[in-house]
Amino acid sequence: MNRLIQLAGALVLVMTATFAQAQGKIAVVDTAEVFQKMPQRDVVRNQLQNEFASRVKEVQQLEQQGRSFVEKQQKDMAFMNDSQKAEAQKKLNDMQATFVQKARSLEQDRAKREQEERQKMLSRIKGAIDDITKAQGLDLVIERGAVIYVNPSLDITQQVISRVSK
C-alpha cells in the first residue's frame, strides 16, 4: 500500500513536470475547503434535519418508552410471577426490535439522502472548477492534497468558493 502511494506521488510529479515543460498552465484547488465553505451546506443540513425530524422524534420516543418500561419492570419484578416476567420480557424484546429496526432504517435513509446532497454539491464544485479552467485556459488542475508545495498564485480555491457561493 505504501509503495502504491509512493508510485502515485511519483507519477503526479512526473506528470506535473511534463506539463510544466510543455508550458502548460497549472492550478491547484482544495475541494475540501470549498465544500466546507459552501453556504449551501448549511441550507442542506437544515433541510435534512427538517426532512427527518418526525422520524428522529419517533425513534427518541421509542427509546424513552423502552427506558420507562425497564425502570417500571425493575421496580415490579419482585411482585411478578413467572408468566408475568415472561410476558414483560417478550414485550421488552418486541420494543427493542422495533426500536432497532426504526433506528437502523432512519440512519440508512439519512445517510442515503446526505450522500445524494453531497453529490449535488460536489457536482456544483466540479462545474465551477471546469468554468474557471476554461476561462483561464488552464491545462491541469490538481487537488491541493496531492501537492507538497504550490505557489499561492496557482491556487484557485478562493475563486471556486466565490463561484459556488453565487
Point out the least confidently predicted range of 2-6, 60-64, 119-123, 141-145: 2-6
Cα torsion 15, 18, 19, 20 to 10°: value is 120
Q: Are 110 and 141 spatial neighbours (Cβ–Cβ below 8 Å)?
A: no
How far is Cα 126 from Cα 53, in angstroms, rounded to an integer? 31
101-138 residue pLDDT tens: 999 999 999 999 999 999 999 999 999 999 999 999 99
* 56 Cβ neighbours under 8 A, 6+ residues apart: 106
pTM (two decimals): 0.69
What is the average pLDDT across 93-98?
A: 93
Q: What is the largest CA-CA distance in the chain?
A: 87
Nearest to 132, CA basis, from 102, 158, 93? 158
